């Protein structure tokens, strides 16, 4: 539940600290005293958008804190633990804080740790529900109506599972659509790759082949000139008699001078190398045979490789590597295409899983619909709308919440057909219908705190007493905080807070007991002129409220 609200320099509030208890708390005060400011401050700390005009004139910033006891809200506690923001020393304690600076920027804190606004909103959604003065306008929205019915009669865990299944299904659908588009755009590319690989595979260029063909072609193409050059060289090598004679002359010299010895060795080596060169040249000469047919084959192969390389704007030597690259690209496209079948199967599986869960949600909704409409209709009659009734109209609408949407149709006069809540003419009737729906939904709602801003607007007399009794019933299992102008409702509060302005026109709030509470109820009954008679009536209201509590 909400334990306290601390406000600093917010709107007309300089400094304010409010303590809240369990059960039904009523907040009263004259018009303009600042009751709505309290809701504004609470909304700020729960994640509402901040505006610089919320800062008190002359102040540098507004600072609002709210302390919750979450021991009765497992969902909120699990959320804190999941974010590692729980307080180990006080596991159920949760302190929210929001600071708004004059430049419009704001900061949010949860148990002293900076967080973003989304964290505040997600946490507060599981522990408190705030209904403003124009709640009937919000209740006219179909998604709100569906949420109220679900709170009343559909298991939250089932709704969560259905939502997750729908999200998973839609995510896979998105991936499938993207892959289908990608594969479709790749089909032309795949066809081109098939053609190119077929052409290249027919040519079958091998690594290093082009250079070898080029060398062989060059040799065959100039075989005659090569033969002539080799023959001339062999002729020259044959005339080595002068070298032999010179070596024999040197060997006859009887002198061991190092220079002479070196000359002998060098000349002997030259003769040996000359013999080796002659032998190698003769071997080479044997390979130089004219072969016009082989030359033509080599020329054809070179032409083929050059043409393929030109088509792909690469060097002929790179053709084998190109084949590998194109093959890998084609395999990637083929892999994407094969994934289509897998994703399509996954989509069907996930859709079936969603349909099963959504079917269970629909079953629980339709099962709860009769009880819900019966309870709201009974509440409408209790609130003075004789013959009033609520009906639900389901429409097919497959989405994350299930297989349908719902619209609330109301009857306020048995002589007229049911009509949507938004088209009911009387503002008082809309307010009472909204209150009846809220009260019935709240009886089964898992939220530990319900805040109502003038839920009794347009209701007076006996009906106001009924409203108070309804809220008192809801407060037996939910903390209810209600801003009210009806003394009958205020008298039924277990705690009574008075909003007023001090001498400096700053908004203040104080708890009322005994005589103070009697005076406030007398003011609400009679206006500014409090009389003994109005005080007596106030005492009567309080006495009747105590009797209700005892029974």
Q: What's the N-to-C CA distance of the chain in angstroms?
A: 25
Task: Please return the burial class of 210, using the count of CB atoms within 10 Å of its CB with bins 0-12, 13-18 and 19+.
Answer: buried
The torsion angle over the Cα atoms of residues 80, 81, 85 and 90, rounded to 10 degrees, is 90
Q: What is the pLDDT of residue 428?
A: 67
| Cα 317 to Cα 152, 207, 267, 296, distances in angstroms | 76, 7, 46, 21
The predicted pLDDT at position 329 comes to 78
For the chain, what is the mean pLDDT?
Answer: 83
Q: How far apart are CA 362 and CA 375, in angstroms?
A: 20
At the top level of CATH, the class of 1-127+447-511+538-551 is alpha beta
**Beta strand pairing status for 419-420 and 113-115?**
unpaired
Q: Which residues contact 494 (CB under 8 A, 6 or more apart)?
A: 21, 22, 23, 24, 25, 472, 475, 549
Residues near 8 by Cβ (< 8 Å), separated by ≥ 6? 14, 15, 16, 62, 63, 64
Q: How far apart are the C-alpha atoms of 75 and 448, rounded to whole Å?
A: 11
Chain segment 511-541, per-residue pLDDT in tens = 998 889 999 999 888 876 788 888 898 898 8
pLDDT given for residue 446 in this prediction? 60
Select from 162, 169, 170 the least CA-distant residue to 402.
Answer: 162
* Residue whose C-alpha is closest to residue 470's, from 436, 446, 495, 497: 436
Q: Are 29 and 75 in contact (CB under 8 A)?
A: no
Is the Cβ–Cβ distance between 302 and 205 less than 8 Å? no
Q: Are strands 61-69 and 113-115 parallel, antiparallel or unpaired?
A: unpaired
Q: Are 40 and 11 in contact (CB under 8 A)?
A: yes
d(CA 242, CA 235): 14
DSSP states along 259-270: HHHHHHHHHHHH
- pLDDT, residue 40, reads 86
What's the alpha-carbon Rg for the chain, to the nearest Å? 48
Measured distance CA(539)–CA(542) in Å, rounded: 5
- Two tokens, residue 98: 């929001």
The pLDDT value recorded for residue 64 is: 94
DSSP 459: -
From-to residues of CATH 3.40.50.300 in the chain: 1-127+447-511+538-551
- Order the strands of the 2-10 sheet from edge to edge: 13-19, 2-10, 61-69, 93-101, 106-110, 113-115
What Å distances lie between residue 201 and 312, 416, 545, CA to CA? 14, 83, 96
Are residues 497 and 24 in contact, defined by beta-carbon separation less than 8 angstroms? no
Q: Find all residues with CB under 8 Å of 401, minimum gap 6, and list them.
A: 143, 146, 150, 159, 162, 163, 361
Residue 117 structure tokens: 């606004």
Task: Read off the pLDDT of residues 131-183 as tens digits, 9 standing for 90 and up.
Answer: 765 555 667 778 888 988 998 889 888 999 999 999 999 999 999 988 887 77
pLDDT at 132: 64
Predicted local distance difference test score (pLDDT) of residue 134:
54
> Are 200 and 305 contacting, i.e. CB atoms less than 8 angstroms apart?
no
Q: How far is CA 471 from the centre of its chain?
A: 37
CB 455 within 8 A of CB 131: yes
Residues lower than pLDDT 70 in the chain: 132-138, 185-188, 217, 219-221, 224, 228, 230, 235-242, 245-247, 286, 289-291, 333-337, 425-428, 445-447, 455-462, 528, 549-551
Angle of helix 319-382 relative to helix 427-444, nearest 10 degrees, comes to 110
Question: What angle separates helix 156-203 from helix 319-382, to the nearest 10 degrees?
Answer: 160
Q: What is the 3-state secondary structure (H, E, C) of 357-417?
A: HHHHHHHHHHHHHHHHHHHHHHHHHHCCCCCCEEEEEEEEEEECCEEEEEEEEEECCCCCC
Helix/strand/coil for 284: helix
Give the pLDDT confidence score for residue 506 in this predicted structure: 83
Chain centroid to CA 437: 32
């Amino acid at each position: 539940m909400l334990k306290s609200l601390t406000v600093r320099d917010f709107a007309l509030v300089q400094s304010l600290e409010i303590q809240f208890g369990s059960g039904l708390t009523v907040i009263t005060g004259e018009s303009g005293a600042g009751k709505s400011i309290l809701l504004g401050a609470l909304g700020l700390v729960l994640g509402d958008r901040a505006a610089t005009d919320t800062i008190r004139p002359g102040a540098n910033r507004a600072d609002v804190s709210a302390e919750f006891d979450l021991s009765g809200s497992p969902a909120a506690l699990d959320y804190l633990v999941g974010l590692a923001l729980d307080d180990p020393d006080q596991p159920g304690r949760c302190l929210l804080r929001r600071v708004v600076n004059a430049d419009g920027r704001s900061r949010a804190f949860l148990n002293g740790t900076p967080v973003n606004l989304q964290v505040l909103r997600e946490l507060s959604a599981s522990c408190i529900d705030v209904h403003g003065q124009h709640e009937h306008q919000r209740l006219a929205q179909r998604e709100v109506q569906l949420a109220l019915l679900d709170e009343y009669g559909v298991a939250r865990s089932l709704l969560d599972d259905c939502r997750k299944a729908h999200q998973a299904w839609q995510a896979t659908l998105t991936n499938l659509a993207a892959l289908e588009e990608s594969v479709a755009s790749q089909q032309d590319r795949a066809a081109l790759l098939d053609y190119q690989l077929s052409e290249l595979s027919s040519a079958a260029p091998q690594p290093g082949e082009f250079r070898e063909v080029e060398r062989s072609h060059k040799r065959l193409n100039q075989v005659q000139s090569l033969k002539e050059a080799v023959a001339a060289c062999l002729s020259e090598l044959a005339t080595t008699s002068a070298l032999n004679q010179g070596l024999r002359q040197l060997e006859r010299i009887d002198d061991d001078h190092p220079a002479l010895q070196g000359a002998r060795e060098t000349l002997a080596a030259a003769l040996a190398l000359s013999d080796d060169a002659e032998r190698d040249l003769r071997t080479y000469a044997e390979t130089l045979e004219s072969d016009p047919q082989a030359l033509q084959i080599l020329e054809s192969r070179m032409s083929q490789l050059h043409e393929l390389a030109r088509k792909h704007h690469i060097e002929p030597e790179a053709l084998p590597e190109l084949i590998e690259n194109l093959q890998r690209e084609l395999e990637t496209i083929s892999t994407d295409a094969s994934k289509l079948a897998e994703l399509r199967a996954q989509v069907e599986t996930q859709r079936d899983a969603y349909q099963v869960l959504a079917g269970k949600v629909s079953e629980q909704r339709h099962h709860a619909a009769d009880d819900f409409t019966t309870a709201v209709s009974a509440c409408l009659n209790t609130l003075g709308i004789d013959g009033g009734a609520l009906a639900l109209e389901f429409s097919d609408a497959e989405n994350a919440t299930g297989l349908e949407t719902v619209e609330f149709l109301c009857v306020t006069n048995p002589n007229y057909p049911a009509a949507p809540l938004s088209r009911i003419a009387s503002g008082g009737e809309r307010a009472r219908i909204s209150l009846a729906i809220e009260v019935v939904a709240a009886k089964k709602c898992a939220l530990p705190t319900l805040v109502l801003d003038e839920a009794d607007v347009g209701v007076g007399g006996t009906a106001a007493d009924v409203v108070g009794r309804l809220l008192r019933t809801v407060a037996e299992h939910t903390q209810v905080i209600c801003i009210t102008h009806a003394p009958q409702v205020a008298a039924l509060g277990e705690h009574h807070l008075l909003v007023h302005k001090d001498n400096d026109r700053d908004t203040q709030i104080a708890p009322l007991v005994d005589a103070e509470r009697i005076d406030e109820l007398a003011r609400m009954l009679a206006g500014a002129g409090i009389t003994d008679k109005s005080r007596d009536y106030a005492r009567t209201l309080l006495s009747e409220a105590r009797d209700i509590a005892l029974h």
